[in-house]
Structure 1
Amino acid sequence: MKMLDSLCIGAMVRMTAMKDKAKDFVKSQDGVSNVVATIIILLLVVMLIAVFWENLQEWISGMMDQIFGTTFDDSGL
C-alpha cells in the first residue's frame, strides 16, 4: 500500500508541475505579436511599392540614364 501511495503522490506532483509549466508557457507567448507586426510592416512596404511603381520606374530610368549615359528600357520591370 505504501508503494501505491508514493506512486500516486509522485504522479500528482508531476502533474501539478506540468500544469504550472503549461501556464507559464501560455503566458510567455509574446513573440507572436512581434511576428504579426513584422508581417504587417512587410505588407505595407509591398503596398507602397505597388502604389508608387510608376514613379519608381521613372526614377530608375533616370538613374540608369545618368550612370550609363544611355536610355534604359524599363518595359521589363
Structure 2
Amino acid sequence: MYYIYGGREMPVKTTVMLKDEIYEYLIKKFGRRKISEAINQALMAQLFKPDKSMFGADPWLTTEGLRDEEEPHETS
C-alpha cells in the first residue's frame, strides 16, 4: 500500500517481527539497508505468483485429438 502525498507515492512503514536467525541471514546476504527491499521482493514472489495455464490439465486432451473440420457453409 502506498500513500499519495503531494502527487508522489510514499511507501507504508510497518513493523515486522523476525526470528533472530532470519534477521542475521538477511543482514549477511543483503546488508542492513537492503533488508526492506529483500523482504518486499520475497513477498511479491510468494503472494503474487502468475496463474498457471489450464492447458495440459487433462492428460486425455491433447492437440492430437483436435480435428480440422470445415463447416458446411465454408466449402467452396
Q: Which TM class, normalised by the smaller chain length?
A: 0.3 to 0.5
The structure whose residues are more often helix, as a share, is 1
The structure whose residues are more often strand, as a share, is 2
Radius of gyration: which is bigger? 1
TM-score (norm 1): 0.34
The structure with higher relative contact order (CA 8 Å, sep 6+) is: 1
